[in-house]
Structure 1
């Protein structure tokens, strides 16, 4: 297998957000006699990649040695090697936040949602075996 391969077809890959990806953010500001608090919250990651099966609820769980197979709430399994895509598969990762505000003057409401996204490239390889009859 090529040393540059990062995952294999059919292998369940755990996905999780890093600790610096906030699930909720709150900010407060004061202007004159009014103080406003804005809170933005997200329900989790959105993932997409060609030739993949994705199941993701929330922000995922970081993998640690000894964790049971199938226990991640956020996984990606590739169904085909990335060779036909020029060698790598592009994974799109996003987080959308819904936001609202409250103010000391009694006003409150929803704000437009805010999204952030990024991409990463993964080289997906495929391993095949050949069974032979060695009993000749």
Structure 2
């Protein structure tokens, strides 16, 4: 079984956190004025949307490569629906467009990516999340 581990640590002088995996980093924060947030980075809902959309964009490339199809432009817009107290994500929708280098219809690439996308297929099935005190 494969596993991926990311790390997050508070950032001195702010109430934000720096997250990293390997050599890649990003900043996690709350919106300006929300619980000490300064808007220095992405909030959880934004990260969830980026997870869904970013994973799908990568999957489009994987699928196109496997199918021998060259993709030009890709665009994905993800909307995360939130509600409740505590607030939870109640749904996500994604609008995807891409073009092929030869002008062919990319529908088969998009459909195959939908079938294999890790994030888009994991979330509806639900995954357990454990929290341990270190």
Higher strand share: 1
Which one scores higher on RCO, CA 8 angstroms, separation ≥ 6? 1
Higher helix share: 2
Normalising by structure 2, we get a TM-score of 0.30
Q: Rg larger in 1 or in 2?
A: 1
